[in-house]
Amino acid sequence: MNSDTTRIVEKTAIHVENVLHQYRNGDDNGMFIAEWRVDRGQQIFLHGESGSGKTTLLNLLAGVLTPDKGEIQILGKPFSTLKAHTRDKFRADHIGVVFQQFNLIPYLSVLKNIQLANHFSSTHLNNVEDLATDYLQKLNLPPNILFQPANAISIGQQQRVAIARALINQPELLLVDEPTSALDVAAKDAFMAILTEICQEAGTTLVFVSHDMHLKQFFPTSVEITELVSTKENQLC
Amino acid sequence: MLMSLAWNSLKSRKKSVILTFLSLVISISVLLSVEHIRLQAKESFNRTISDVDLIVGAPSGQLNLLLYSVFRMGSPTNNINFESYKVLKNNPHVEWAIPLSLGDSHHGFRVLGTNDQYFTHFKYGNKTALTFSHGEPFQSVFEAVIGADVAKQLNYKVGDEVVIAHGTGSTSFTHHDDSPFTISGVLNPTGTPVDKTVHVSLQAIEAIHLHPLHPTGQVKEHLAEEELIPDSVTAIMLGLKSKFAIFKLQREVNNNKNDKLMAILPGVALNELWQMMGTIENLLRIISILILISSLFGLSTMLLASMQQRQNEIAVLRVLGAGPHVIFSLVLIEALILVVLAIIAATGMISVTIGLLSDWLAAQFGLFLSANLLQVEVIQVYVVIVIASIVTSALPAYDAYKSALHSTLSAR
């Protein structure tokens, strides 16, 4: 491996190559991505209409789904071809995920939720509580929220706790799927500002998926999903 | 962490979890108590008599004779001539002979007329002889030796004077208030009917059966012991010099011309008892196993039903890096927490219940149950319960495993 490729690999957070995903419902037109590269530290706004394959792509990046063909590399590791167990571990250590909603386990306290994320990773921090308090402060959450059950706080607060939870292991990559869909406009903007700022600070690569064009303004780079994806038929000919 | 996760998850579904838990406690209690009582009954009966080769009494069923003479239960048998006792005692095969004379009571405790042979040769448990905690065997007609429970419940001690009545109820109509006995000794606890027995001499039995108009004072003064020689006994326990003579002597006794006699082997009679009980035992076991299975299915149903509402939870755990096997174990741990807690609760409940009822069970059924459930056989039952619950909850756990495999970020 010459020094050029090494540098490229080191710089690259996500590398998707010739990835084909066949839908389970028997839809012949699978999703195909010839190549997509995201550099480390980039903040990407991935935009597309409902049903355009955004969430599928995010599932592939999180390793919850695996491609039928091709390879996804994350942080230079052949992520998609790792053994299921290794991939789970890798996700726990290097990838944070925030969903639309229901990010937290409702019957656990906020702190327990955050500790749980650390439990499955190999970092095993011994100061999770301190770190969590720091993050909650940055996310403008009151410190006493730590000991409340997750289902006792508002959805906006839950989403911010989800960010803290996703970042607790200091992951290199943060995948976020429509986290603001349950929030009102004011809360949305505040949420976005905090999210991008925290990622900036930590140098975390951020892939943010949404159909809401209004949020594009928070990102330097924006990608339209249709630019990435072509249907299987087009490709195999 | 997984443990606390499972515990909190159970806590979040309190209502259905508590109902399932109660159903488990009940079914496990039933199974455990059937097993425990079965084992303990057998042990308690088997330990009641030891080292006795033959029991001789009036012809009736061998079970009836055994139950009445040894366990002081069932219907009284006819008496046999005292002469037969003398003959048997002097039989060349016989090493020792204990005469037993039953039929009277003292505050609900059976009164047993016997002689000094009883304290030397009667054995229980694993050939354990009777021992005294206080005092010594009776020496004269108006002395009595009491079992440990009698001493404890009636608060008697050596030297106390007591009254012994004719009849077997605790409220006998023919109290002989003028027949005072002095307690000469208290026996150590044995866990057998001996604990609930008042032992007196054969002569004493005769004395309390004298005509009520005969004041005991007169008896004491005027009747020589020879005049109180009994004319009959209820049964005789025999110890032989050689085990090989048992069947020969049994035949001899059964063919006796002078008195109608029957000789039984205690072990054989007990065996007959267990064979009779065997069918009922197995029926009870089957029923209790079915109850357990049904409540384990209840557990499994509860967990399966919760899977629907736990899709999100599983999705969250997945993206945090929990593999499907973690989800599988989580469900299994939840089931095991419930089952283990139910086992502990059931064990505690049974121990307390037996502790409270032990006197009543001993008095009513001659059952001496230990409140300690932790014996090898019962522990085997625990293991079986745990294994059975792992098997039945594998279904919801596998369900969770599968949904974890397919869970994606879009789960909502």
Q: What is the reported pLDDT for B21?
A: 94
Q: How far is A98 from chain B (nearest CA, A)?
A: 9
Across the range B396-401, mean pLDDT stands at 90
Residues 350-409 of B with CB under 8 A from A: 407-409
- Test B12 with A64 for CB contact under 8 angstroms: no
pLDDT tens column, A82-98:
888 899 889 888 999 88
Across the range B32-52, mean pLDDT stands at 84
**C-alpha–C-alpha distance, residues A223 and A56, integer Å:** 15
Q: How far is A83 from chain B (nearest CA, A)?
A: 11
Q: What is the reported pLDDT for B178?
A: 54
Residue B212 has pLDDT above 70, yes or no: no
A180 vs B223, residue with greater confidence: A180
Q: What is the reported pLDDT for B299?
A: 92
**C-alpha–C-alpha distance, residues B53 and B152, integer Å:** 32
Q: What is the reported pLDDT for B308?
A: 80
Contact status of A180 with chain B (Cβ, < 8 Å): no
Extract the tokens encoding B356: 């409270």
Extract the tokens encoding B349: 């409940």
- Test B409 with A104 for CB contact under 8 angstroms: no
The 8-class DSSP code of residue B76 comes to P
Q: What is the reported pLDDT for B213?
A: 45
DSSP A11-74: HEEEEEEEEEE--TT--S--EEEEEEEEETT-EEEEE--TTSSHHHHHHHHHTSS--SEEEEEE
Q: What is the reported pLDDT for B165?
A: 62
Beginning with the edge strand found earlier in the chain, give each strand of the sheet holding A12-21 in spatial order: A69-74, A12-21, A31-39, A229-231
- Test B316 with A92 for CB contact under 8 angstroms: no
pLDDT tens column, B333-358:
999 999 999 999 999 999 999 888 88
* B196 to A5, A87, B118: CA distances (angstroms): 94, 72, 15
- Test B409 with A103 for CB contact under 8 angstroms: no
pLDDT tens column, B314-332:
888 888 888 888 999 999 9
Nearest to B158 by CA among B148, B145, B149, B168: B145
Cβ(B408)–Cβ(A62) below 8 Å: no
pTM of the full structure: 0.75
pLDDT tens column, A209-234:
988 888 888 898 898 888 888 755 45
Q: Tell me the average pLDDT of chain B.
A: 85
Contact status of A23 with chain B (Cβ, < 8 Å): no
Size of interface A-B (CB pairs under 8 A): 74
Residue B176 has pLDDT above 70, yes or no: no
Q: In chain A, what percentage of residues exceed pLDDT 70?
A: 93
Sequence spans of domains, chain B: 2-46+277-411, 54-264
Q: How far is A147 from chain B (nearest CA, A)?
A: 14
Residues 2-31 of B with CB under 8 A from A: 4-5, 8-9, 11-12
**C-alpha–C-alpha distance, residues B300 and B394, integer Å:** 8
**C-alpha–C-alpha distance, residues B20 and B303, integer Å:** 10
B142 three-state secondary structure: coil
- Test A120 with B322 for CB contact under 8 angstroms: yes
> Which segment of A58-62, A216-220, B165-169 scores lowest on mean pLDDT?
B165-169
The beta strand positions in chain A, using DSSP E, are 12-21, 31-39, 43-47, 69-74, 95-98, 173-177, 205-210, 221-224, 229-231
Q: What is the reported pLDDT for A137?
A: 86
A179 — pLDDT class (breaks 50, 70, 90): confident
